[in-house]
Amino acid sequence: MKKIMTLGIALLLLFSLAGLTACGDIELASYKTTAKTALQNHADVKLLANGYSAEGLTDIAKIVADGKAAITNATDKPAVDAAKDDAIQAIDAVPQKEEEMADFVLTITVDRTTATHGQKITANAILKNNSGQTQNITIVYHLIVWNIDEWDYKIENSVPAEPRNMILEEGDTHIGSEIFWVVQTQAAGAYKLQAAATFYLRFGQPDEEKIIIKSKNINITVQ
């Protein structure tokens, strides 16, 4: 009798664990569906409210597709949230048509928006010439300077560099990259990443013009 009872209890536990696993899988699948819907809704609202170029529309479509694929492949709820949030922030970083019509536009992208201590964040800044003509720009310090609110990250500008010239063809882009390490001294929380491009047109001439262009912010979360 004891053996029969023991076997019965073991079977009951086995069925219970199987049931819990199945429930967990169903719950995660539902969570993923909700995240994909939220991502698509965010993209739809942006597309309705703002005008994008054909290139911008293509970028958003790819971001949504890649975001949904990342959500599908996520193994738990935090990973689902991270995939959804990364895609939403990438959509927000796509420049609108009126921004693209500016003479120069600066956009930034990151390979991750959520990181833990010991991880790195690789950021790219893309400066595009939309002026309609080739531009000879002069750089005195750094063309691209990065800033993260309340993050102890600075580029040393104490020693002036020699001015240097760079030709930026119409429609061409210049890409600057930077790697940020998340160290133990950085507290958990949300930070804003922004880049600025500074250069001169007609440097040293009477009609010299200093150009400062700032990118939109990208939210970085340290866990």
How does pLDDT run across 160-189, given as a tens digit for each residue?
A: 567 889 898 988 888 888 898 898 888 899
What angle do the packed helices 77-92 and 54-73 form, to 10 degrees? 170
pLDDT score recorded for residue 36 = 92
Per-domain boundaries in the chain = 2-92, 102-222
Query: Does residue 54 register a pLDDT over 50?
Result: yes
Q: What is the pLDDT of residue 103?
A: 87
Instruction: Give the global pTM.
Output: 0.58
Residue 11 has pLDDT above 80, yes or no: no
DSSP 8-state class, residue 136 = E
Helices (H), 50-179: 54-73, 77-92, 97-100
- What was the pLDDT predicted at 6? 57
pLDDT of residue 15: 57
CATH number of this structure's domain 102-222, picked from the four choices 2.60.40.1110, 1.10.1740.10, 2.60.40.2360, 3.40.50.880: 2.60.40.2360
CA separation for the pair 169, 119 (Å, rounded) = 36
